[in-house]
């Protein structure tokens, strides 16, 4: 395989799809529009949702682009060799045009003929089937025809090979393409993703979107079939440049050198912290560039958390004084210059202002920890959970502080509690949607909830339209306007408090959209 720079990869992507008569789809903003239930642009297909459902696209039926995306679902994994919160996604789409055979054939052709991938290092997964859709023999046969042997094709369940941008929306089975990343040159005979997942890295996903799940969890076949693909640009650069992680590619190398120079520390001994600062700072630049500001709600809240985590990890490497910090931010712009045109002055102002506010919070945290550790050198999982849930301490920060002070953490139970909480939230989202036929009986005569874009969670301007006590005792409030986004699978709400006109204080534990109405579940 030839080594390619990141800009050569971009060029190859463009010329390949243009040669297949695809039109270039202009990139969407990272900040999802106000009607959307997502906080960020999480995939190339997000702007195409109405067109995947049948609306005629002005650019035609074959499209491609490179789309900036932010996903925070794996934020705790950032620091390893390939997870990122901001990434560029290369995508091609067929809207009621070509389908599985052609999409698979072209994916193979791009990898093997254009990028000179060794096909012996490729493996794929396809959908094994369930009661909604059949086992994807068509995709498996297309892969074999293209050149992937049967032993490298794994049939996997919905959890792995079904893709949807959220609980409601177009969806379908997918086929994922993996590259061999273990240190032996070639995978051993018989190795495939199903049995040897850790040694294969996913590089490209082809989704065959031909279904739609609506607010009532009703599943229907779309009037047209579509192909929606997404390839992680950074992961491809890692493979093409033959690096052990994406942070060693030409995308991050200038920033990593800058951080070494600024902190006077070596990347090799501080990989995880360097990577977190690098990933998070890039995401922060991109989000503020797209006009997001830190706040206590929705996307702004996520931005605030990313800035905090970034700054805290920088602090653990070295405390910079005001002027050092200011020139570090300037130099960071230069090291990421290739990424996009940054509005540098504005980004810097927003970022440094947020950091100075965060400095005050750090003092408060230290004080809280001091108190918890008065009588013990160990934090129980309940205390760690409370630090996270009530005071917003990212686990990472608790870990770093604990390591510095020789405090023991009961992490095994903490992880379990967190997984349980996540699973419960996933299940309850699903159950709630399944029950939404029941919710609709409460919604008669209620107008569509207006979503408002406040900087604070302020309900002063909202009118409580209805208070429901459901059959299972769950209380739900409906307002005419709300600053809350409905929950998505990858963006769970923290708990929020609101004071109602009659003086009652309620905690919002979940926010869901059913039909046109936003429901606030209170605890």
- In degrees and rounded to multiples of 5, residue 76 shows phi and psi of -70, -20
C-alpha 168/C-alpha 214 separation (Å) is 5
482 close to 451: Cβ distance less than 8 angstroms: yes
Among 37, 65, 125, 205, binds ligand SER (CB under 6 A): 205
CB of 73 to ligand SER, least distance (A): 12
Compute the least distance from the CB of residue 441 to ligand SER, in Å.
34
- Answer whether 228's CB lies under 8 Å from 51's CB: no
Q: Of the two residues 91 and 394, which places its CB atom closer to ligand SER in the complex?
A: 91
The reply to whether 127 sits near ligand SER by the rule CB under 6 A is no
Which segment (37-45, 186-194, 290-298, 454-462) binds ligand SER by CB under 6 A? 37-45
| Minimum distance from residue 232 beta carbon to ligand SER (Å) | 9
Could you give the C-alpha distances from 44 to 66, 129, 205, 318, 343, in angstroms and in order? 7, 25, 12, 37, 23
Shortest distance, position 230 Cβ to ligand SER, whole Å: 2
User: Can you spell out the DSSP letters for 454-513?
Assistant: -SS---TT--EEEEEE-TTS-EEEEESEESPPPPBTTBPPPPEEEE-TTS-EEEEEEEEE
Is 28 among the residues that bind ligand SER (CB under 6 A)? no
Distance between CA atoms of residues 165 and 209, nearest Å: 11
In whole angstroms, the minimum distance from the beta carbon of 231 to ligand SER comes to 8
**Which helix (H) or strand (E) covers residue 331, if one does?**
helix 322-335
CB of 89 to ligand SER, least distance (A): 6
Q: Compare residues 43 and 75 and give the one whose CB is closer to ligand SER.
A: 43
In angstroms, the CA 73 to CA 38 distance is: 12
In this chain, which stretch among 182-190, 228-236, 315-323, 396-404 interacts with ligand SER, using CB under 6 A? 228-236
Q: Is 111 in the site for ligand SER (CB under 6 A)?
A: no
User: Which region, judged by CB under 6 A, interacts with ligand SER, from 15-23, 41-49, 304-312, 412-420?
Assistant: 41-49
207 binds ligand SER (CB under 6 A): yes
Nearer to ligand SER, 207 or 317 (CB): 207
Of 225-233, 263-271, 356-364, 440-448, the segment contacting ligand SER by CB under 6 A is 225-233
Type and span of the H or E element at 274: helix 271-289
Among 32, 44, 115, 313, which residue interacts with ligand SER (rule: CB under 6 A)? 44
Nearer to ligand SER by Cβ, of 44 and 294: the residue is: 44
286 makes contact with ligand SER (CB under 6 A): no
65-104 footprint of ligand SER as x/- string (CB under 6 A): --------------------------x-------------
Shortest reach from residue 54's CB to ligand SER, in Å = 18
Extract the tokens encoding 256.
């990593």
* Least separation in angstroms between CB 85 and ligand SER: 15
Provide, rounded to whole angstroms, the least separation between the CB of residue 431 and ligand SER.
25
Residue 43 interacts with ligand SER (CB under 6 A): yes or no: yes
**HEC letters along 334-372:** HHCCCCCCCCHHHHHHHHHHHHHHHHHHHHHHHHHHHHH
> Does residue 335 interact with ligand SER by CB under 6 A?
no
Residue 56 CB: number of other CB atoms within 10 A?
A: 10
Select the residue interacting with ligand SER from 229, 241, 335, 429 (CB under 6 A): 229
379 bridge partner residues: 409
Question: Does position 45 bind ligand SER by CB under 6 A?
Answer: yes
Query: For the purposes of burial, counting CB atoms within 10 Å of the CB of 63, is it exposed (0-12), middle (13-18) or buried (19 or more)?
Result: buried
Q: Which of 88, 215, 228, 290 binds ligand SER (CB under 6 A)?
A: 228
With binding defined as CB under 6 A, does residue 163 bind ligand SER?
yes
Q: Is 230 in the site for ligand SER (CB under 6 A)?
A: yes
Window of 42-50, 75-83, 235-243, 290-298 that interacts with ligand SER by CB under 6 A:
42-50
Q: Where are the beta strands (DSSP E) in 399-462?
A: 408-409, 450-451
Q: Is 203 in the site for ligand SER (CB under 6 A)?
A: no
Angle at 111 between CA 107 and CA 116, to 5 degrees: 160
Q: Closest Cα to residue 292, out of 343, 333, 361?
A: 343
- Nearer to ligand SER by Cβ, of 205 and 335: the residue is 205
Q: Which residues are bridge partners to 211 per DSSP?
A: 171, 221
Shortest Å, Cβ 427 to ligand SER: 23
* Number of residues located near ligand SER, criterion CB under 6 A: 10
Contact status, residue 275 vs residue 267, Cβ threshold 8 Å: no
Name the residue number minimizing CB distance to ligand SER: 230
Burial of 477 (0-12, 13-18, 19+ CB in 10 A): buried
- 212 forms beta bridges with 170, 220
Q: Return the bridge partners of 171, or none.
A: 211
Smallest gap from residue 245 Cβ to ligand SER (A):
21
Site of tokens 């389908």: 99
Give the binding site for ligand SER (CB under 6 A). Answer: 43-45, 91, 163, 205, 207, 228-230
């Amino acid at each position: 395989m030839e080594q390619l720079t990141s800009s050569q990869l971009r060029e190859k992507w463009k010329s390949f799809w243009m040669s297949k008569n695809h039109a270039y789809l202009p990139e969407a903003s990272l900040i999802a529009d106000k009607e959307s239930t997502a906080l960020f642009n999480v995939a190339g297909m997000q702007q195409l949702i109405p067109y995947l459902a049948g609306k005629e696209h002005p650019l035609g039926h074959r499209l491609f682009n490179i789309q900036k995306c932010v996903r925070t679902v794996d934020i705790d994994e950032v620091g390893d060799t390939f997870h990122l919160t901001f990434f560029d996604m290369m995508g091609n789409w067929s809207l009621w045009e070509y389908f599985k055979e052609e999409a698979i054939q072209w994916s193979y052709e791009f990898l093997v003929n254009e990028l000179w991938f060794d096909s012996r290092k490729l493996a794929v997964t396809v959908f094994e089937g369930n009661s909604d859709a059949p086992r994807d023999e068509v995709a498996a046969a297309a892969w074999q025809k293209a050149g992937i042997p049967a032993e490298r094709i794994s049939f996997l369940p919905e959890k792995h090979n079904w893709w949807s941008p959220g609980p409601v929306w177009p969806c379908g089975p997918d086929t994922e393409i993996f590259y061999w990343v273990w240190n032996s040159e070639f995978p051993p005979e018989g190795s495939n993703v199903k049995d040897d997942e850790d040694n294969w890295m996913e590089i490209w996903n082809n989704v065959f979107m031909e279904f739609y799940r609506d607010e009532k969890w009703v599943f229907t076949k779309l009037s047209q079939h579509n192909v929606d693909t997404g390839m992680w640009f950074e992961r491809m650069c890692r493979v093409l440049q033959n690096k052990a992680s994406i942070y060693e590619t030409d995308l991050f190398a200038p920033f990593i050198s800058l951080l070494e120079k600024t902190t006077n520390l070596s990347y090799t001994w501080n990989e995880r912290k360097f990577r977190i600062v690098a990933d998070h700072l890039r995401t922060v630049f991109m989000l503020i560039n797209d006009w997001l500001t830190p706040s206590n709600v929705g996307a702004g809240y996520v931005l605030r958390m990313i800035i905090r985590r970034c700054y805290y990890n920088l602090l653990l490497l070295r405390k910079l004084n005001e002027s050092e910090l200011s020139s570090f931010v300037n130099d960071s712009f230069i090291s990421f210059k290739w990424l996009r045109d940054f509005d540098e002055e504005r980004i810097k102002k927003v970022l440094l202002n947020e950091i100075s506010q965060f400095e005050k919070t750090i003092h408060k945290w230290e004080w809280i920890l001091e108190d918890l550790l008065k009588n013990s050198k160990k934090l129980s999982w309940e205390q760690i959970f409370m630090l996270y849930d009530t005071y917003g301490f990212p686990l990472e920060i608790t870990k770093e502080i604990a390591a510095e002070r020789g405090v023991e953490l009961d992490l095994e139970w903490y992880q379990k509690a967190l997984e349980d909480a996540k699973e419960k939230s996933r299940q309850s989202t699903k159950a709630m949607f399944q029950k939404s036929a029941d919710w609709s009986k409460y919604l008669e005569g209620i107008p569509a909830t207006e979503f408002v874009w406040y900087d604070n969670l302020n309900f002063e301007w909202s009118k409580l339209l209805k208070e429901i006590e459901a059959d299972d005792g769950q209380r739900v409030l409906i307002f005419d306007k709300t600053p809350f986004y409905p929950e998505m699978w990858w963006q769970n709400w923290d708990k929020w408090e609101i004071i109602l006109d009659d003086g009652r204080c309620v905690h919002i534990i979940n926010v869901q959209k059913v039909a046109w109405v936003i429901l606030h579940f209170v605890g």
